[in-house]
Chain A
Amino acid sequence: MNAPAKPEIATVINESGIEVKPLYTSEDVEKSGGYQQVGLPGEYPFTRGIHRLMYRKQPWTMRQYAGFGNPRESNQRFKYLIANGQTGLNVAFDLPTQIGLDSDDPLASGEIGRVGMSIDTLRDFEIAFDGIDLDQITVSLTINGAAAILIAMYLAMAEKRGYDVKRLRGTAQNDILKEFIGRGTWIFPVEPSIRLVGDTIEYCAQHAPKYSPVSVCGYHIRESGATPAQEMAYAFCIARAYADEVIRRGLSIDEFAGRLSYNFNIFGNIFEQVSKFRAGRSLWARIMKEEYGAEKPGSMWLRMIAAGGGGGLTFEQPELNIVRGAYYALISALSGTQTMALCSYDEAYTIPTEYSARISLRTMQILSDEMGLAETVDPLAGSYYVETMTNQMRDKMVEIMAETDAQGGIVKLVSEGVIQAKVSAQAYRMHRDIESGAFPKVGVNRYRNEQDDEHPVEFHAYREEDARLQIDSLNKVRAERDGDAVARCLAQVGSDARAGANVMPAIVAAVKAYASVGEITERLVQVYGRYREPIRF
């Protein structure tokens, strides 16, 4: 009704800056580089998937983001999700935990358990995962600034329960460079932050070789305003920075690259997104093989969670987000991801309820069980459009990576706030384009129902009582633990950090002695200092 009139044929440019034609033929594929990178799934360069049979053998893991309040409540929510058929856990932490504050820190006041689970000591982890079989469920910890400590706690908790840490699987997000671009849970300055990521990768390679210590996130860079091509290109630049840090310590690429994984976003144009994933898989394989000399296929695999889509959801007519979510899940399935998660329809304005989180889970189950998405590998392969776009997206990513390197590299650009300024300028332009209607958004700048715009924005009620219980529990642990042992362990963390040694063994010892997240963080801050955010527009 109020859709804008279209001219006969307008030029269409996708978000990544590539022109979209009204028709593609084999000639377009040839002109863009041909079919030589297509290959077969399970074979280099893995454009079509990292495994030969993909979902036919094992459907994607479904892992909704969850966790709130105290560890006991989170434990109940985890068990609920598992009972409903979820096959992995994606754990949310509250902000104090994420930035290394104990619950009794004055800065934590009003934030305890608000956006995720509150963790102070190993005791909280023991409660949160009580009764959950860590061999049956893969656990992903959404933790970055304080990742070294939380990984240590997870490994210590598993060991205490009798699991063989050498065989333990799981993932930590632990991608600090993207926290400086978006999401913002940094603690230490850039250089020591990268060193800490290196420490966790090195430690896991030696002690917990099945554990994935880093999930490099294009996701949040995209949420901060990056295009799909930039999302993947910047993520690869960041992954290279971590790989370089670990190689500098004498490890070979094949000793750790097989445990690196990725987290990418799925909102936007279906064909651009699917092409992004196909292109990214072959580009990463090439980088690992040709630039880093990787020999093991596993080192070349772009293992990933393709998830979320929060940036595409709207406040207006929020029930339309259920429909958007279904298309995003379709993109994820067509992308050949290993793991999938969906933002729930109410996520634009609140932490999802059990009801909305179940709709997301069922959306993914409908795709795998009803719609045939798990039956055939890479079903869009051979499409003139998708193959052309895959070639063009790959070229675009190579171009962005080269440009980043030419400007001094991702670490320098992030340290100086250059990438942050660039993506936030893009986010601003996109916001203006949505406001003006230049970028179509159904229910927002067209087909708007003013009378439907009232919707409840709600947060989980914040309960001071829960915060007090968490602080009581921390005080109890402090009273019961061996104070001398804790002091010795914390001193060791400080001296190892000062000496430039890998701090993970000392952190693992400290968490086993029930040293808290805040105490360990404070020791590291004494050596590393705190990050100061560059303000740049």
Chain B
Amino acid sequence: MTQQHIRVLLAKPGLDGHDQGAKIVVRAMMDAGFEVIYTGLRQTPEAVARIALEEDVDVIALSSMAGSHLPFCGKLKPLLEANGLGDKLWLIGGNLPAQDHAALRALGFKGIFPSGSRLDAITDFIRAHVGSAS
């Protein structure tokens, strides 16, 4: 798979309105040559799963700043799996306490990018894992 065909869904889960970081990551992914579908604010787990399916994305990425990442991801995981999206690359970034990282990994999030992560680390990770993983 060539990198210009990498399709990424970047979603803002829950009610949190802090989208500056998400929009920065969208631009970094666009500059890296990915096709990015940005959902805008206030997505439910159901909406994330539906858009991911409809848009046939390779990567499902969430940006969470206000602390509700664990309950949200807990609801999202079975929905993604039920929609046959279990083999896609799941990422999450934002305000993510270190003690939650193991739980997020256990939920199936392969890439965890707490605030302060370098943009290239995110895009390099996607390049390294899409194609080889699927």
Contacts and interface: CB of A to CB of B under 8 A. Distances in A.
Interface in A325-376: 348-350
Contact of A107 (B15, B16, B95, B116): B15
Given A435-B118, A457-B95, A111 B15 contact: yes
A427 B114 contact: no
A428 B15 contact: no
Task: Give the secondary structure class of A's interface.
Answer: loop
B26 interface: yes
Given A179-B17, A184-B17, A533-B41, A435 B68 contact: no
B19 interface: yes
B107 to A, nearest CB: 15
Interface in B97-117: 97-99, 114-116
A431 B24 contact: yes
Given A95-B66, A537-B30, A424 B41 contact: no
Interface residues of B, number: 34
Contacts of A431: 24, 119
A199 B14 CA distance: 30
Given A184-B41, A457-B114, A349 B95 contact: yes
Interface string B75-111: 0000000000000000000011111000000000000
A185 B120 CA distance: 30
A462 interface: yes
Contact of B116 (A110, A111, A316, A350): A316
A228 interface: no
A103 interface: no
Contacts of A432: 119
A115 B18 CA distance: 12
Contact of A223 (B14, B20, B115): B20
Q: How extensive is the interface on chain A, given as a class? A: 35 or more
Nearest to A458: B97
B50 interface: no
Nearest to B30: A537
B1 to A, nearest CB: 24
Given A349-B95, A456-B98, A457-B95, A535 B67 contact: no
B23 interface: yes
Contact of B67 (A108, A114, A225): A114
B5 interface: no
B114 A184 contact: no
27 contacts: A95-B16, A95-B66, A99-B15, A101-B15, A107-B44, A110-B14, A110-B71, A110-B72, A111-B14, A111-B15, A114-B67, A179-B17, A182-B20, A183-B17, A184-B16, A184-B41, A224-B20, A348-B115, A424-B20, A427-B23, A427-B24, A428-B27, A459-B67, A459-B95, A459-B97, A462-B67, A537-B23
Interface of A: 95-96, 98-99, 101, 107-111, 114-115, 179, 182-185, 223-225, 314-316, 348-350, 424-425, 427-428, 431-432, 435, 456-459, 462, 533, 535, 537
Given A223-B20, A458-B97, 17 more contacts: A95-B17, A99-B15, A110-B68, A111-B14, A182-B20, A184-B16, A184-B17, A224-B20, A315-B115, A315-B116, A348-B115, A349-B97, A424-B20, A435-B118, A435-B119, A457-B95, A457-B96
